[in-house]
Structure 1
């Protein structure tokens, strides 16, 4: 089963629904978690009525908005709800998780993404288009220089994140005004 995590709040429901529809057009056997502080549970019940007919499921993962309100971002346009993604190891039990920003359109099947072997890697991320990266023929970064990555698409080794207590460390960093 493909485990995908989205994150957002009630104000972002249209984008979340669009992302879910784009996932379902190209994929089967999907479980989608939505980390959120305020989306009504009835929305999940109604959506599951349709998703279960095609072998998919959507799961409501509530977070305490006060916990997220402690987070600081260096960018004004980023809401505190965006920090819900760092709670994935605390909220999701599966070992391999694909995190997608809730405004992404999936235009292909994701089987190849879920077939990626982590080895000892903690995650795979998409390099920022403008970053100083060199790529091999498969599109993987081959240079050792650490550039910027788009955190809107993350294939997470959730088992390692739990073992390494990544969520706790990121929460501490997010509370500090100098990070974000």
Structure 2
């Protein structure tokens, strides 16, 4: 099928070898909810040194029983594809790979997804937005009052700052205008930006953004922190956020809180629903904190007893095998 066929939907993810298993869960969620009227092409942007052939082979075991036509292509990014750019806690080198998308993929437009999202609605409804002459389509970010003040220092209207975890990229225009190069230059020249390529894209794409309904990028962070930090959002955004809790199409598991680590958090069960369909399930299952350590100690009556790490691990695994029958 032609790359720019109206029946082809390209979806791009960039990830490290460690995040491959989480990216698999994201793709599984797309496949389980997408329309059978389209063919889906997934492009994985990966570090050529870290994602070895055996890791790719495991990833390609992704399947769906729905008869959806799809294929997965790995695109290796070499060291010389990007200059040395800052790597911080929430921004890995792989995050910058999305700036290269128009140079690597020939489709006129593509969907970009972070590896920590779950898609629970037909993704063709997202793809079929008309970008017009906009460079990107994305959701306005919903952030704290402190972050709002930070965005103002970038000379960006906080109401127009978008989250780059879910985007439709106008590949043709990005390539014509060399947007990726402009973003890289912005990162090199400015030392005042904290959210790296997301900030750079907001600066460079300013005034040429199609803003999507917020349901296409529901940030779960606030559902966890809202009770503890009552003033996290202003009253208007708090009300909007509460409405989205019951009506989102994509959930974005932002921040250090992740469903594969904390399966007892709100909406973590949605992520695990799709994780269970992948070949990575057992690996993910045993890598997660199935119940909190504090709760487990109370449960077995050793809350005030000192137990060595090895003994604790044996007790924990024995209990989990009984509880979850695995």
Q: TM-score range by the shorter chain?
A: 0.7 to 0.9
Count how many residue pairs are aligned between Structure 1 and Structure 2. Answer: 168
Question: Counting strand residues as a fraction of each chain, which structure ranks higher?
Answer: 1
Alignment of 1:124 with 2:137, yes or no, is: yes
1:2-151 matches, cutoff 5 A: 2-27=9-34, 28=36, 29-37=39-47, 38-45=50-57, 47-48=59-60, 54-65=68-79, 67-68=81-82, 70-72=84-86, 76-130=89-143, 146-151=159-164
Calculate the TM-score normalised by the size of structure 2: 0.47
Moved more, 53-62 or 152-161: 53-62
Give secondary structure in 1 for the equivalent of 2:44. Answer: strand
Q: Is the 8 A contact 2:12 2:110 kept in 1?
A: yes
CA shift at 1:67, angstroms? 4.4
Q: 1:65 to 1:177 in 2, by over 3 A?
A: farther
Q: Give 1 or 2 for the bigger CA radius of gyration.
A: 2
What is the CA–CA distance in structure 2 between the aligned matches of 1:56 and 1:48, rounded to whole Å? 11
Residue 173 of structure 1 and its aligned partner are, at CA, apart by 2.1
Could you tell me the TM-score, scaled by structure 1's length? 0.81
Aligned Cα RMSD in Å? Answer: 2.5
Question: In 1, distance between residues paired with 2:158 and 2:187?
Answer: 24
How much has 1:64 moved relative to structure 2? 1.5
Relative contact order (C-alpha < 8 Å, sep 6+): which is higher? 1
Distance 2:28 2:98 in 1: 20
The answer to whether the 8 A contact 1:131-1:147 is kept is: no
Counterparts in 2 of 1:131 and 1:97: CA distance versus 1, 3 Å:
farther
Give the equivalent residue in structure 1 for 2:286. Answer: none
**Unaligned ranges ≥5, structure 2:** 1-7, 146-156, 197-326
Q: Deviations over 1:83-129 (max 9, x none)?
A: 11111111111111000001110111012212111111111011112
